[in-house]
């Protein structure tokens, strides 16, 4: 049985939260995201291991490692959502439940953002709820893991 731990993955450019296009992504920072997810998870008896990288291979390595000690993955793949088959394959390959989160409503944005390579491997999808969507995604993923 895996440890009651979740991996929180934030992809490219999410380190710029709070300063990058605040009209789209809001004023909250990556630190705020990590604190929110940690608060939610801790209240439900889970630990969080968080990673953000602008490098696809670093994210894939972290996802592979998660299969050893995590019960699930909360991921905002950023732009890799729409481009990365290998990220999708990594998530599929570790066979952990996945919650896909997007701060903005990607379906209301440019057409190239309308396709997600992650969607078919995720059991939870939260889109367009801003940073508070991370709370929803984490709660729904834990509910799924705990059989609720």
Active site residue 25: yes
Consult the annotation and say whether 76 binds a ligand.
yes
Q: Is residue 104 marked as binding?
A: yes
Q: Tell whether 82 is in a known binding site.
A: yes
Question: Is 114 an active-site residue?
Answer: no
CA atoms within 13 A on the CB side of 72: 24
The closest alpha carbon to 75, from 45, 105, 96, 93, belongs to 96
Q: Which of 46, 102, 117, 134 is catalytic?
A: 102
Q: Out of 25, 46, 117, 134, which one is annotated catalytic?
A: 25
| 92 marked among binding-site residues | no
* Residues annotated within a binding site: 76, 82, 89, 103-104, 113
Positions at the binding site for substrate: 76, 82, 89, 103-104, 113
Residues designated catalytic? 25, 102
């Amino acid at each position: 049985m895996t440890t009651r731990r979740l991996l929180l993955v934030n992809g490219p450019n999410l380190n710029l939260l709070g300063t990058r296009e605040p009209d789209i992504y809001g004023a909250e920072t990556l630190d705020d995201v990590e604190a929110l997810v940690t608060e939610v998870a801790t209240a439900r008896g889970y630990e969080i291991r968080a990673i953000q990288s602008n490098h696809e291979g670093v994210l894939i390595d972290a996802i592979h490692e998660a299969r050893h000690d995590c019960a699930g993955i909360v991921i905002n793949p950023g732009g890799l959502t729409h481009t990365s088959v290998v990220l999708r394959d990594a998530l599929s390959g570790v066979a952990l439940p996945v919650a896909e989160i997007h701060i903005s409503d990607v379906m209301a944005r440019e057409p190239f953002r309308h396709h997600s390579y992650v969607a078919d491997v995720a059991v939870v999808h939260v889109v367009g709820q801003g940073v508070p969507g991370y709370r929803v995604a984490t709660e729904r993923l834990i509910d799924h893991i705990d059989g609720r």
